Amino acid sequence: MAFRMPFRRAMSSVARQSLKIGLVPADGIGREVIPAARTAIEALGSDIPKPQFIDLLAGFELFTKTGTALPEETIAALRECDCALFGAVSSPSKRVTGYSSPIVALRKELDLYANIRPVVSVAANPSGKPSVDLVVVRENTECLYVKQETIIATENGREARAVRLITERASRRIGRMAFELALTRPRKHVTIIHKSNVLSVTDGLFRETVRAVPRQEPGKFDDVTIAEQLVDSAVYRLFREPEIYDIMVAPNLYGDIISDAAAALVGSLGLVPSINAGDNFVMGEPVHGSAPDIAGKEIANPIASIRSAALMLRRLGYIQGADRIDNAVDEVVRQGTVLTPDLGGKSKTHEVVDAIIKRI
């Protein structure tokens, strides 16, 4: 079975009468796939507290209309929620004055320091072992994503610079998240991804800090084995021999690239979910982008969002409900008759959703 990812530090699900879930579809196909995830959650019935959905605004399209990509009202509302689902954001490739990515801002505002992205292929039969079964644990708050960029004019033309921030605190807690996650998996193996042969100060600090995590809690992580890989060779080996990886822990930029590359191994970005996790909040987010070229055509793959909802529920401690969603998705993918075009099928978004809901 795919995407079974328990958490040692799952948030307590005790005594909740209802589950308040913020929905931030944002841009493009986010407005098509987040409703699909909502439908899957609603299908669980008594396996979770009664869900209460709060519709919230954010995104580049909102920015073009209002001048604000992430309203204060959205942030305030999310702070009152138990969890959230975020769709996709259209970030322009060229600088737009006043615009900053709302998903990056939300990760910082809610201290969602870990982006956890499982990449698992669905085995040909229910008892089969997946050929790809790994998790990218990506630090979510710093690296180049602090977005401190400057451009100046020089006698040789314009010169652009970007600040890359790596801190001991952020590296330690993402390392701890990776080791704790490794304890829940059969192989219990962590690979630290870095480029400290070139970036000896920043990546050097990340590498050293993550390696030091087990020493801070003697005995706890004795069963976890540690490996290292330079990021360029990690990508190469990811395509050649993905079976060597279990947990891959990386700084923000490397984790973003590696997880998108890994999605190619299982067929589509439309299959790969993630959660943005902190110690007190969790937000599901499909790995794919806003895909403006297919928005509104009813061919967006809803599976990544539905999987993300399952991951979110699993983090909150609702294991049975999460398993029901994952099992239903596995069956649909394995059967192969109701799939969207990115997976070689001809089905519409709502047809895939309907097939999954029937199995839930």
Catalytic residues: 145, 195, 232, 256, 260
Strand segments (E) across 243-357: 247-250, 275-277, 282-284
Radius of gyration of the chain (CA): 20
Positive or negative: CA dihedral 250, 253, 200, 168: negative
Give the residue among 268, 280, 248 at the shortest CA–CA distance from 116.
Answer: 248
- Please, which residues bridge with residue 138 across strands? 115, 250
CB–CB of 101/69 below 8 Å? yes
Distance between CA atoms of residues 185 and 4, nearest Å: 9
Give the span between the Cα atoms of 88 and 285, in whole angstroms.
8
Structure tokens at 75: 């942030």
Other C-beta atoms lying within 10 Å of the C-beta of residue 242: 17
**How far apart, in Å, are the Cα atoms of 324 and each of 102, 104, 318?**
31, 31, 10
Number of neighbouring beta carbons within 10 Å of residue 159 = 10
Using DSSP, how many helices (H) and how many strands (E) does the chain show?
11, 12
